[in-house]
Amino acid sequence: MANVTVIGAQWGDEGKGKIVDWLASRADVVVRFQGGHNAGHTLVIDGTTYKLSLLPSGIVSGTLSVIGNGVVLDPWALRDEVKKLEGQGIAITDENLAVADNCPLILPLHRDLDGLRETAAGKGKIGTTGRGIGPAYEDKVGRRAIRVCDLAHLDSLEPQLDRLCAHHDALLAGFGQPPVDRAALLEELREIAPFVLRFAQPVWKRLKKVRRAGAKILFEGAQGVLLDVDHGTYPFVTSSNTVSGTAASGSGLGPGSTGYVLGIVKAYTTRVGSGPFPTELEDDIGQRLGERGHEFGTVTGRKRRVGWFDAVLVRQSCAISGVTGIALTKIDVLDGMDRVSICTGYRLRGKVYDYLPSHAADQAECEPIYEDMPGWSESTAGARSYADLPANAIKYIQRIQELIECPVALVSTSPERDDTILMRDPFVD
């Protein structure tokens, strides 16, 4: 298989950035296919930290990086991120960055609406990042979005603005806000258009060309399967499909292009924001794991909730997304634990479940059933060979494989790119 699709198999924040960067050094193209600048990927290369939200992780290594049509694009966020990376010495041109010309845009009015809704929701908040991603996807589906290609035709944008403002003006009135300032919006779009159009192109055509030439393509997912709008813990989910199948529709390549599906899985479980979390630890152990794992969101800075590894959820994610193998990250955070626990099932009103029910009320009531295993006192940090791992860490990994019914392909032992144990090569297997 020449291509690899990387997805998060939990609630996001699994360490996809490092794994994608590691794989990108062996790929010819890296493609983002869904989400927006609510994704957070941290890369540490030769001691330098790069924080990405919208740009594909391959951009740091100079690999051709593509933002596909399945992404909703905040053009101002893109410009800020490009400038920040250029300040760190990364050259970004139309040779190594391509943006789909049919990408929907995230506009200032989307950010405003996102904030108004969350404020008004009270206890019904779903914990969005407030960046306008959800409202932008709504406008895409409602066929009133302004897209990247429209930036080259701003003088004929009035009919689209009519449709867009008819919808948003009514929403704003409901919140007691003034209507959209169309003149100001057009001026903002005219100002940003030259920057974005430098990178705009029909990326499906470019991807078709490089694929025919035998290029290795790496598809980079954002968030995680448990945040998928269909298959996640609804309504506490993101606004797009995060499963591997979206790589095809979100890039313009067919379903046969996705190749090896690598699910990124943290050696424990974390979640940002609201929603059910069966294995959450609100004790000293959870505090310790959170501190050792530096569990703060890359984009939001919010403290992540922390819990034991949930094999039920990961098995479910692997099945739904057709995961071929997993990359296990942050195993070093468990170093020094006397014991480690794995959730193997749930108890709900006297019945045992081997999956997470769909209804939010049932999800909130699920009690985890744990299997305890001995921990290890030795360090796994920086290990680059399976033989370098402590015996109990190996047993822990093997037990995870059995419970999730999916093999471990990679083990990450630190944020550094090269601190990675390769057990199965996704580009070959």
| Catalytic site positions | 13, 41
341: which 2 tokens?
């626990």
Query: 3-class SS at 307?
Result: strand
CB 326 within 8 A of CB 369: no
Neighbours of 264 (CB within 10 A): 27
82: which 2 tokens?
């490009």
Alpha helices in 142-232 (DSSP H): 158-174, 182-197, 203-212
Rounded-to-integer distance, Cα 409 and Cα 371, Å? 23
204: which 2 tokens?
């499906």
Q: Which residue has the tokens 């152990």?
A: 285
Q: Which residue has the tokens 């940003």?
A: 192
- Report the interhelical angle of 108-121 vs 182-197 (nearest 10°): 120
Specify burial of residue 425 (Cβ count, 10 A radius: 0-12, 13-18, 19+): middle
User: How far from the centroid of its chain's Cα atoms is residue 256's Cα?
Assistant: 22
Query: 3-class SS at 26?
Result: coil
Instruction: Say which DSSP state 29 is in.
Output: E
The CB-side HSE value for 237 (13 A sphere, CA atoms) comes to 19
